């Protein structure tokens, strides 16, 4: 493999290109008009404009991207995450054009892209499932009876869904039909597919996911778990590895289940198997993401691996260079997604110019970044601008370093989720490890964060005053 086209933008495009460069592989960037000056465009060996700012006129143009790849004699395409990364038709088109798709085969993407098909595929492996329907709902009256048998509260979920779209919690039977109509309508609008199913609502779940890797020689491994329970609007904001609640026995069971999910669809490459963990530490298969995850750095750090390098090697037909017995967890890693969002205003997007943009540095600090000072945050794409990752020998060390790194981050011109990261790191529930996916709903409010800011400002002012008084006293001391 001599040349890779990265069909993405921002921090993930840059992160993939850095590994490719380390491996001696040339890179091609594609970009939209608004991303002309982006770091990933400057970093690549070659860069091609593919369209206007909206993603459906640029980064989602699979056929155009393949045309560019062919014209530049590209060997492989890395899709990153988002955009075309879980598009089975795009993966198939790459295969048909003799371009290596750095990811799973199209059939695996299709199976795992439908939550119902995924459930059906893993049945024979006895993987724990949340009680619910195993096929799409067609008759609402029958579905209502099934829901009553399962027991409320229940969850209505879009089969083709993700990111909380097409998802409705139904607390009681009288709300069932109206919530079903809303879920189907939202699923049609978001995915063009109104198929929904129902399952028991796990009241206090933790969101635990397992990183898996597989090669074309029948080798499967898992790289342990990530704790992803700190979310807003069903989207992760803070992730860590390992989880503070998994015992070695539970970790082994969940890892084995994740590998079996990968085997169920003949998976190749990097993937993530997501589970719900209830308050009694029972785990249930949720779904599989057939791509690299945003939070993959925390897994890389605790296992001392480069997942993108492994993706490229596996796509090139090489065997995995390690077996399960070679992998162990070392230390603890934490990741904060730095979104251009205002936590004091219901996490609404914050667009503007990065008037000041200085990143933290130091031992144990990693920033996967896709922006530079002076750039504008575009409204057309996901609002994540970077990822802040910290590593320590212990969880407490990683948390302390995260707080310090957040304070060393200097961003002016937009609002970000950095203050929310501080709020999380200082909250007793997070520090104790006793939290679930309802953390934001239970503990967070704009008022609480404002009070925290005021408290920190007062402490900083008192410290500054003490330093000033101490210096004054020293100046007054006669020789």
**H or E element: which one contains 229?**
strand 220-232
Residue 128: partners with Cβ closer than 8 Å, 6 or more residues away: 257, 282, 283, 284, 285
What is the spatial distance between Cα 27 and Cα 21, in angstroms, rounded to a whole number?
8
CB 422 within 8 A of CB 403: yes
338 pairs with which residues across the strands? 386
Q: Please tell me what DSSP assigns to residue 353.
A: B
User: 291 an active-site residue?
Assistant: yes
CB atoms within 10 A of CB 304: 10
Q: How far is Cα 370 from Cα 14, in angstroms, rounded to an integer?
A: 7
Phi and psi at residue 191, to the nearest 5°: -125, -5
Distance CA 430, CA 411 (A): 25
Choosing from 110, 206, 291, 366, the catalytic residue is 291
Residues 6+ apart with CB under 8 A from 248: none
Q: What is the DSSP string of 407-463?
A: HH-EEESS--SHHHHHHHHH-HHHHHT---TTHHHHH--HHHHHHHHHHHHHHHHHH
Q: Residue 37: CB partners within 8 Å, gap ≥ 6? A: 375
H/E element, 51: strand 46-51
CB 358 within 8 A of CB 410: yes
Of 360, 427, 423, 426, give the one whose Cα is nearest residue 389. Answer: 360
- Taking the C-alpha atoms of residue 459 and residue 478, their distance in angstroms, rounded to an integer, is 31
Tell me how many helices (H) and strands (E) the chain has.
Answer: 16, 20
DSSP characters over 83-148: TTTT-HHHHHHHHHTT-EESS--HHHHHHHHSHHHHHHHHGGGT--B-SB-SS----HHHHHHHHH
Return the percent helix, strand and coil in the chain, to nearest 5: 40, 25, 35
Give, in order, the Cα–Cα distances in Å from 414 to each of 163, 335, 348, 386, 425: 24, 21, 12, 14, 22
- Give the catalytic positions in this structure: 291
């Amino acid at each position: 493999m001599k040349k890779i086209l990265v069909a993405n933008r921002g921090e993930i495009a840059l992160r993939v290109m850095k590994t490719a460069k380390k491996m001696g592989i040339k890179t091609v960037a594609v970009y939209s008009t608004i991303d002309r000056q982006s770091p990933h465009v400057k970093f690549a060996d070659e860069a091609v404009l593919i369209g206007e700012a909206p993603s459906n006129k640029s980064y989602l143009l699979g056929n155009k991207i393949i045309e560019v790849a062919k014209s530049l004699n590209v060997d492989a395409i890395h899709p990153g995450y988002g955009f075309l990364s879980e598009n089975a038709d795009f993966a198939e088109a790459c295969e048909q054009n003799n371009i290596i798709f750095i990811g799973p085969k199209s059939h695996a993407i299709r199976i795992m892209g439908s939550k119902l098909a995924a459930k059906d595929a893993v049945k024979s492996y006895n993987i724990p499932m949340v009680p619910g329907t195993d096929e799409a709902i067609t008759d609402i009256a029958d579905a209502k009876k099934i829901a009553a048998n399962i027991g409320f509260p229940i969850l209505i979920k879009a089969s083709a869904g993700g990111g909380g779209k097409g998802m409705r919690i139904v607390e009681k039977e009288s709300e069932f039909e109206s919530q079903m109509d809303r879920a189907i309508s939202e699923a049609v609008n978001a995915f063009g597919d109104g198929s929904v199913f129902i399952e028991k609502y796990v009241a206090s779940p933790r969101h635990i996911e397992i990183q898996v890797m597989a090669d074309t020689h029948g080798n499967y491994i898992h790289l342990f778990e990530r704790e992803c329970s700190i979310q807003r609007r069903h989207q992760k904001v803070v992730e860590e590895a390992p989880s503070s609640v998994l015992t070695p026995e539970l970790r082994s069971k969940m890892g084995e289940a994740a590998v079996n999910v990968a085997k169920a669809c003949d998976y190749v490459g990097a993937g993530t198997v997501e589970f719900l963990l209830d308050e009694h530490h029972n785990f249930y298969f949720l779904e599989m993401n057939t791509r690299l995850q945003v939070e993959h750095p925390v897994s890389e750090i605790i296992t001392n691996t480069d997942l993108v390098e492994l993706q490229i090697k596996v796509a090139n037909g090489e065997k995995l260079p390690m077996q399960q017995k070679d992998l162990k967890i070392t230390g603890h890693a934490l990741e904060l997604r730095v979104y251009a969002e205002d936590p004091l205003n219901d996490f609404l997007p914050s667009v503007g110019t990065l008037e000041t943009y200085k990143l933290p540095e130091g031992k144990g600090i990693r920033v996967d970044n896709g922006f530079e000072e002076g750039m504008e945050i575009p409204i057309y794409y996901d609002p994540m601008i970077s990822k802040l990752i910290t590593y320590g020998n212990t969880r407490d060390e990683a948390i302390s370093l995260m707080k310090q790194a957040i304070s060393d981050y200097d961003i002016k011109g937009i609002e970000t989720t950095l203050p929310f990261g501080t709020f999380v790191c200082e909250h007793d529930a997070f520090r104790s490890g006793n939290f679930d996916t309802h953390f934001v709903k239970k503990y967070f409010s704009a008022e609480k964060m404002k009070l925290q800011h005021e408290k920190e400002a007062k402490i900083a002012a008192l410290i500054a005053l003490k330093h000033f008084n101490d210096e004054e006293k020293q100046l007054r001391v006669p020789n």
